[in-house]
């Protein structure tokens, strides 16, 4: 009697990610993922009962990887103050790999169209923002730095704009400068409050 083949679920998720990057999340099929992974359809369905469950697993893994990546970088920073935001700035030192841009764009479309997936993103962002604000002596400056950093990443990951290396490094230095800024209370018309 032959040995039962063990399916590597990370390989299945890698295949699903490639299909999302190539065809989009809306066009992902169990058959396409099985073919890309070199397994049969039943092997994919065993752990991911539906296309939606498979897309959710890809999104969950993306959040887990991103959070683990940032945590690893934060662990290398000696000073606990501003560790959460400074770790994210250090992580952004390298632009996203070319092959990930299509995946990011297509996953973003899936997040925009699906309330459940969008809720996962909202929860992840709320935790990140809370950590950034709670670990900073200047919570508003750190939040502004995070918003600027996310804007930079948004432009790059979604392939909307790419800075030269020199300009990108300058933007990151300026975002880093924002971390310790203490913004003045100014009303919407630019007049100091008080």
pLDDT (0 to 100) of residue 148: 97
Question: pLDDT, tens digit, for every residue of 71-80?
Answer: 999 999 999 9
Quote the domain boundaries for residue 120: 9-178
CB-CB contact of 89 with 175 (8 Å):
yes
pLDDT (0 to 100) of residue 183: 82
Q: In the predicted model, is pLDDT for residue 96 greater than 60?
A: yes
The mean pLDDT value for 108-119 works out to 88
Name the band, by pLDDT with cuts 50, 70 and 90, for residue 144. very high
- 194: in domain: no
Q: In the predicted model, is pLDDT for residue 88 greater than 80?
A: yes
At which residue do the structure tokens 């993306």 appear? Answer: 62
Task: Calculate the average pLDDT of the chain.
Answer: 89
> Structurally, how many domains does the chain consist of?
1
Q: In the predicted model, is pLDDT for residue 40 greater than 80?
A: yes
Name the band, by pLDDT with cuts 50, 70 and 90, for residue 106. confident
- 78: in domain: yes
Six token digits for residue 46: 């065993």
Six token digits for residue 190: 């630019």
- 126: in domain: yes
Alpha carbons within 13 angstroms on the beta-carbon side of residue 189 total 2
CB-CB contact of 30 with 51 (8 Å):
yes
Query: SS3 of 138, please?
Result: coil
pLDDT (0 to 100) of residue 90: 95
pLDDT (0 to 100) of residue 149: 97
Cα distances (Å, whole numbers) of residue 143 to 47, 138, 166 = 38, 9, 24
Name the band, by pLDDT with cuts 50, 70 and 90, for residue 91. very high
Q: Could you tell me the CATH number of the domain that includes residue 23?
A: 1.10.357.10
Q: For the whole model, what pTM was predicted?
A: 0.82
Q: In the predicted model, is pLDDT for residue 1 greater than 70?
A: no
- Using CA atoms, how far apart are residues 42 and 176, in angstroms rounded to an integer? 49
Q: Which among 134, 133, 130, 147 has a CA at the least distance from the CA of 89?
A: 147
CB-CB contact of 179 with 141 (8 Å):
yes
If you ran DSSP here, which 8-state letter would residue 6 be given? P
Six token digits for residue 120: 């996962």
- 183: in domain: no
- 186: in domain: no
The mean pLDDT value for 103-132 works out to 91
- 189: in domain: no
- Between 4 and 83, the more confident residue is 83
Six token digits for residue 157: 């990951």
């Amino acid at each position: 009697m032959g040995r039962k083949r063990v399916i590597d679920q990370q390989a299945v998720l890698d295949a699903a990610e490639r299909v999302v990057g190539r065809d989009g999340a809306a066009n992902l099929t169990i058959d396409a993922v099985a073919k890309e992974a070199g397994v049969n359809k039943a092997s994919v369905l065993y752990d991911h009962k539906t296309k939606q469950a498979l897309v959710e697993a890809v999104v969950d893994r993306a959040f887990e990887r991103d959070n683990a990546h940032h945590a690893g970088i934060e662990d290398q920073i000696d000073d606990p103050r501003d560790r959460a935001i400074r770790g994210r700035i250090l992580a952004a030192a390298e632009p996203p790999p070319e092959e990930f841009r299509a995946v990011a764009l297509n996953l973003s479309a899936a997040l925009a169209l699906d309330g459940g997936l969008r809720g996962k993103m909202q929860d992840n962002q709320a935790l990140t923002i809370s950590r950034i604000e709670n670990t900073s002596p200047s919570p508003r400056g750190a939040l502004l730095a995070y918003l600027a950093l996310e804007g930079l990443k948004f432009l790059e990951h979604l392939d909307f704009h790419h800075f030269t290396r020199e300009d990108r490094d300058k933007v990151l230095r300026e975002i880093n400068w924002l971390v310790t800024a203490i913004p003045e209370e100014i009303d919407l018309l630019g007049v100091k409050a008080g």
